[in-house]
Structure 1
């Protein structure tokens, strides 16, 4: 284990990234535990207020991100300072992204249906950083051999193609696929060649006069959402807690 850690993490200079990821995930987990205890009225915790104003934890999170980010830039890559500032940055990022939905909606939607976006963003962020830590590089550069890396034209072609695939997936309404496709090119390629989701820019532009394509797109999206919406919601509820019942969507009348 020690040899693996030194060869794959410390020697390539990835220790700050590992510490940032660990502190990010741990901060999010601890924050969610505390907020759920506060919500249930248990434990010694309570909301932080100053003069009647509720101070959300995104505020100290922003401060820590600024300190950790600038500190990491100013410190040496392999020094103790870089590792320490990486931890500070990870803690700040965990606090900020835990309230991502609040920043997006500019409203306190923490325990509402819209608040699920915070959990989703945290999971996606942790997964992307984990892939980068495992050695995946943006736009598939990690798939190139040393000879190809020395060939500037090959690198530019590879990056360009993978960037186009990611853009195509995004235009087809497959945001998660496009994001992960930046790191894992095969994912972007799959998203680029599959049917677009209804309402996406690609569907509005190319399916407008193709009723059969529109019907296939709507049917595939319906089947996909029906299959995965339930498990995804349960996973989000397990991590972040269920939204308030009064904020849950009302099912359509039968």
Structure 2
């Protein structure tokens, strides 16, 4: 465990990513706690208003993300400056993605059914960043021997193929598998080779004149949703709060 931590987490240049991930998760957890207390009318917290306008926390989130992002680019991957800007970026990203649904729908849907998308995007983002942090980045090819370059080239080719499978899975209406499939082997090909969801672009185009395929896709989607939707919704409600509609 100590060797893995030293090799993957404390590797030069990865500390800012670790700080960004930690601050991202912490910012999301804290802002969800505060908003749930405000919603329940408990504690000292209140909505921020300016001239009668409700200022959503996506606004300071965008500001912190811009400052942290440009500061990180300017400061490089080492030093106190890089660590500070990584924390600012992580906090800003947490605030922004907590209101991802608001940005997507251009409406205050935070506590509505559409607001669940914010929780889903935050979980997917944290999982992907953690995967990159604890794994192996295939595109760093500086100071490698010819044999290492060859091995790295195979990894790059594999990642590229996986990315194409992810695009196909996305076209088939499976965004979660597409996101995880970019970095996790076998997830994207599995999603790409299975039947598309009935409402996906792939199904609308390729199943238009194939009623049997469309019927199978509808049955499979209904069975999948019946099996997993309840569990997923309970997890989202526990993490982000119950929607009002």
TM-score normalized with structure 2 length: 0.90
Where does 1:159-174 land on structure 2 (aligned, <5 Å)? 159-174=159-174
Cα distance per residue 1:98-146 (max 9 Å; x no partner): 111111111111111111111111111111101111115479x9xxxx8
Alpha-carbon contact 1:138-1:183 (below 8 Å) kept: no
Where does 1:1-254 land on structure 2 (aligned, <5 Å)? 4-137=4-137, 147=147, 149-150=149-150, 154=154, 157-244=157-244, 247=245
Q: 1:132 to 1:212 in 2, by over 3 A?
A: same
Cα distance per residue 1:8-56 (max 9 Å; x no partner): 2222421111110100000100101111111111101101111111111
Cα distance per residue 1:75-109 (max 9 Å; x no partner): 13121111111000000011111111111111111
Q: 1:151 to 1:124 in 2, by over 3 A?
A: closer
Across the aligned residues of Structure 1 and Structure 2, the Cα RMSD in angstroms comes to 2.2
Instruction: Supply the distance in 1 between the matched residues of 2:224 and 2:138 (Cα, whole angstroms).
Output: 27
Instruction: Supply the distance in 2 between the matched residues of 1:68 and 1:25 (Cα, whole angstroms).
Output: 16
Give the secondary-structure state (helix, strand or coil) at the position aligned to 2:236.
helix
Alpha-carbon contact 1:198-1:214 (below 8 Å) kept: yes
Give the secondary-structure state (helix, strand or coil) at the position aligned to 1:109.
coil
Q: How many residue pairs end up in the alignment? A: 240
Partner of 1:250: none
Instruction: Supply the distance in 1 between the matched residues of 2:136 and 2:220 (Cα, whole angstroms).
Output: 30
Q: What displacement does 1:203 show?
A: 1.5
Q: What displacement does 1:68 show?
A: 0.4
Instruction: Supply the distance in 1 between the matched residues of 2:130 and 2:33 (Cα, whole angstroms).
Output: 23
Give the secondary-structure state (helix, strand or coil) at the position aligned to 2:186.
helix
Instruction: Supply the distance in 1 between the matched residues of 2:201 and 2:41 (Cα, whole angstroms).
Output: 46
Give the secondary-structure state (helix, strand or coil) at the position aligned to 1:188.
helix
Unaligned runs of 5+ in 1: 248-254
